[in-house]
Amino acid sequence: MKLIPEILQAQAEIRAIRRDIHAHPELCFEEQRTADVVARNLESWGIEVHRGLGTTGLVGVIRNGSSARTIGLRADMDALPLQEANTFEHHSQHAGKMHACGHDGHTAMLLLGAARYLAQHKPFDGTVHLIFQPAEEGGGGAREMIKDGLFERFPCDAVFGVHNWPGMPMGAFGTRAGPLMASSNEFRIVVRGKGAHAAMPNNGNDPVFTAAQIVSALQGIITRNKRPIDTAVISVTQFHAGDATNIVPDQAWIGGTVRTFTVPVLDLIERRMEEVARAVAAAFDCTVEYEFHRNYPPTINSEAETGFAAAVAAELVGADNVDSNVEPTMGAEDFSFMLQHKPGCYLFLGNGDGGHRDAGHGLGPCMLHNPSYDFNDELLPVGSTFFVRLVEKWLAPA
Terminal Cα-to-Cα distance of the chain (whole angstroms)? 27
Cα 290 from Cα 157, distance rounded (Å):
40
Q: At what angle do helices 32-44 and 11-23 cross, to 10 degrees?
A: 160
Q: What is the pLDDT of residues 312-347, one digit of tens each?
A: 999 999 999 999 999 999 999 999 999 999 999 999
> Helices marked H in 296-359 — which ranges?
303-317, 335-341
> Helices marked H in the chain — which ranges?
5-9, 11-23, 32-44, 103-108, 116-121, 141-147, 150-153, 207-220, 263-283, 303-317, 335-341, 380-394
User: Structural domain boundaries of the chain?
Assistant: 5-181+298-394, 184-296
Assign residue 335 a region: left if phi > 0, alpha if psi is -120 to 50, beta otherwise?
A: alpha
pLDDT of amino acid 398 = 79
pLDDT of amino acid 253 = 98
Asked if 36 and 30 touch (Cβ cutoff 8 Å), the reply is no
- CATH number assigned to the domain with residue range 5-181+298-394, chosen from the 4 options 3.40.50.300, 2.30.30.280, 3.40.630.10, 3.40.50.450: 3.40.630.10
Same fold, 5-181+298-394 and 184-296: no
Strands 251-260 and 232-241: antiparallel
pLDDT of amino acid 1 = 87
C-alpha pair distances (Å), 309 with each of 155, 173, 337: 19, 10, 19
Cα 305 from Cα 343, distance rounded (Å):
7
- CATH number assigned to the domain with residue range 184-296, chosen from the 4 options 3.20.20.70, 3.50.50.60, 3.40.50.2300, 3.30.70.360: 3.30.70.360
Which residues of the chain are modeled with pLDDT < 70? none
**What's the residue count for the chain?**
398
